[in-house]
Amino acid sequence: MNEQLQPLKKQPRAGKAGRSGTQDDIVYAHIFEAILEQRLAPGTKLSEEALGEIFGVSRTIIRRALSRLAHEGVVLLRPNRGAVVASPSVEEARQVFMARRLVERAITELAVQHATAEQIAELRQMVNDERDSFSRGDRGAGIRLSGEFHLKLAEAAKNAPLISFQRSLVSQTSLIIAQYESGNRSHCSYDEHTQLIDAIEKRDGELAVNLMMHHMDHIDSKLNLDEDSASDDLHAVFSHLLQTKKPGRSPAKI
Amino acid sequence: MNEQLQPLKKQPRAGKAGRSGTQDDIVYAHIFEAILEQRLAPGTKLSEEALGEIFGVSRTIIRRALSRLAHEGVVLLRPNRGAVVASPSVEEARQVFMARRLVERAITELAVQHATAEQIAELRQMVNDERDSFSRGDRGAGIRLSGEFHLKLAEAAKNAPLISFQRSLVSQTSLIIAQYESGNRSHCSYDEHTQLIDAIEKRDGELAVNLMMHHMDHIDSKLNLDEDSASDDLHAVFSHLLQTKKPGRSPAKI
DNA sequence: AACATGGCGATTGTACACAATGCTTAGTGG
DNA sequence: CCACTAAGCATTGTGTACAATCGCCATGTT
């Protein structure tokens, strides 16, 4: 009955470096990770009571976490109808990528100017972690760490509003990648991350921006949102029904 | 002392805009306006219970509104210590303006491509409202409407993440203007808004972007955050003590 | 006299009870 | 057999009681 995963005390600290380990942050981080690692498929309903039981907290906490996730765009909050994991449409994905191009360019330029040696070292560490995850076959963690790399880069740009915006964009991007990435292709080559760090360390702004733009190109060239949007949209809409099946191209004859 | 401004219960409840008329939004909008119109000075404490009594709702609703305001950067939420009206530092103001330059440029380019005739008409209407407010001497409403103009422009750009980011930036900008604007200078010349609309209507992207950038220049040239940041910072910190006084330049002899 | 410490009041944080809403399904009439 | 209606159920929305925490102030000590 009261089966819950320990009343939330251990706190593996796996999530972000969030200053305080408040319950909110724990619940938020766990749901967030679960979504990015596709243990929660797009469209899945997130019942407040069920989550509360799982995490051993009341609906109040769950609700706050869901609200935060909704603000970042990875959860959709439907009034009186509960929350579901977001299913970004192709159009939404395009908008996110457009915004990211914009922001990443600015972040790169600023990071070249302001990144400290310590931050550059941290970035290199993150690329290592990312590579390890992929070599371990942990795709979910890889996607998440790849996103955290871009977030760390934003912090080096030293502009609070941009960091906040980037957090939201990276979250949504990760969800989009998890949803749309085609096949087995490695989705975010960490080599590009390394080259980027090198350019930043050499304070070569032009090179860094070029690398970043190519990086953006590579990311969305690996996704399926080019033309066959219809089938992908269907997949998104009905993903909560299909457990593991992934219709390749047929428009789904219901 | 149950003095409250009508218990807010009237709430049409008619099937009309299902989400727009919720209590949350009403409370949010009222506090937001009060802050922008400087009826609530930076640093003012926002007690949940007091606000709940004023608006005739429970702390639950107030808390949500404050949370939303905090996410937009106009309210600071201190754990266990309540919420206060944000007091953006000069550095924070600079960061906001830098981010706005970035976003406004992109929004302008996109609006030139995508703005419909209807949207352009709405923009013109907003400029009229803005001018009316200033001619009425309603500075607070003017600042708010000026911000809403820029937000409307973002909507014409048809990019959801950018709209959301712009909303946050505009909110913070309005607060900064209310806090730092020097003297009586009209703060956001609606003429520039009109010219901008003209350029957009003519689909002249280059002109529109230039106008927007000049507009940005004008806005922050009217603020006091250039050099004498020390005194302004003091003003920000102690603004909850000074009722209406506005020290022009002297470093405030307390 | 100044600083440290402990109690007190006030305010926020959390949980829970109840109300309201939407979905589902069973039942009835065409 | 299908469509429509209505009632039941499950889930979310809101208000409120209680617990935890913080700041303030008085008191005692150095």
pLDDT of residue A186: 56
Q: What residues are paired with B181 via a beta bridge?
A: B223
Both B94 and B133 in a single domain? Answer: yes
Per-residue pLDDT of chain A (254 residues; tens, 9 = 90+): 334 444 443 333 333 333 345 778 889 999 998 888 878 888 999 999 999 999 999 999 999 999 999 999 999 999 999 999 999 988 999 999 999 999 999 999 999 999 999 999 999 999 999 999 888 988 878 888 899 999 999 999 999 999 999 999 999 998 888 788 765 555 567 789 999 999 999 999 999 999 999 999 988 787 766 554 444 444 443 444 343 333 334 433 33
Residue of B nearest to A73 (CA): B161
Residue ranges making up the domain that contains A60: 23-85
**A32: in domain:** yes
Domain boundary among A63, A85, A107: A85
User: What CATH number should be reported for the domain holding residue B149?
Assistant: 1.20.120.530
- On the question of pLDDT at B139 being above 60, the answer is yes
The string of pLDDT tens digits covering residues B144-184 is 889 999 999 999 999 999 999 999 999 999 888 878 876 55
Nearest Cβ partner for B161 among A160, A162, A168: A168
Both A111 and A217 in a single domain? Answer: yes
Both B81 and B102 in a single domain? Answer: no
User: Is the four-CA dihedral B232, B233, B235, B239 of positive or negative sign?
Assistant: positive
Both B99 and B217 in a single domain? Answer: yes
Both A121 and A216 in a single domain? Answer: yes
**A228: in domain:** no
Q: Is B136 exposed, middle or buried (0-12, 13-18, 19+ CB in 10 A)?
A: exposed
Amino acid A81 CA to nucleotide C21 C1' distance, rounded Å: 9
- Is any Cβ of chain B less than 8 angstroms from the Cβ of A121? no
Both B127 and B57 in a single domain? Answer: no
Both A79 and A164 in a single domain? Answer: no
Both A101 and A156 in a single domain? Answer: yes
Both B73 and B97 in a single domain? Answer: no
pLDDT of residue B158: 96
Domain boundary among A85, A103, A131: A85
- Which region holds residue B78: left if phi is over 0, alpha if psi is between -120 and 50, else beta? beta
**B207: in domain:** yes
pLDDT of residue B95: 95
The string of pLDDT tens digits covering residues B3-45 is 444 444 333 333 333 334 577 888 999 998 888 877 888 889 9
Interface of A with B in 53-82 (CB under 8 A): 64, 67, 71, 73, 79
- Which positions in strand C are less than 7 Å from the protein's CB atoms? 11-17, 21-23
Both B120 and B194 in a single domain? Answer: yes
**B244: in domain:** no
**B241: in domain:** no
Domain boundary among A69, A85, A101: A85
Cβ contacts of B67 on chain A, cutoff 8 Å: 64, 67
User: What CATH number should be reported for the domain holding residue A40?
Assistant: 1.10.10.10
**Distance between CA atoms of A77 and A56, rounded to whole angstroms?**
22
The string of pLDDT tens digits covering residues A15-43 is 333 334 577 888 999 999 888 887 888 89
How many domains, in total, are found in chain B?
2
Q: Where are the alpha helices (DSSP H) in A44-157?
A: 48-55, 59-72, 90-114, 117-135, 139-156
Which one, of A212, A247, A223, A242, lies nearest residue A42 by Cα? A242
Instruction: Report in angstroms the alpha-carbon separations of A46 from A24, A30, A52, A70, A121.
Output: 16, 13, 10, 12, 38
Q: Starting at the edge strand that comes first in sequence, how are the strands of the sheet with A82-85 ordered?
A: A45-46, A82-85, A75-78
Both A108 and A193 in a single domain? Answer: yes
CB A120 within 8 A of CB A200: yes
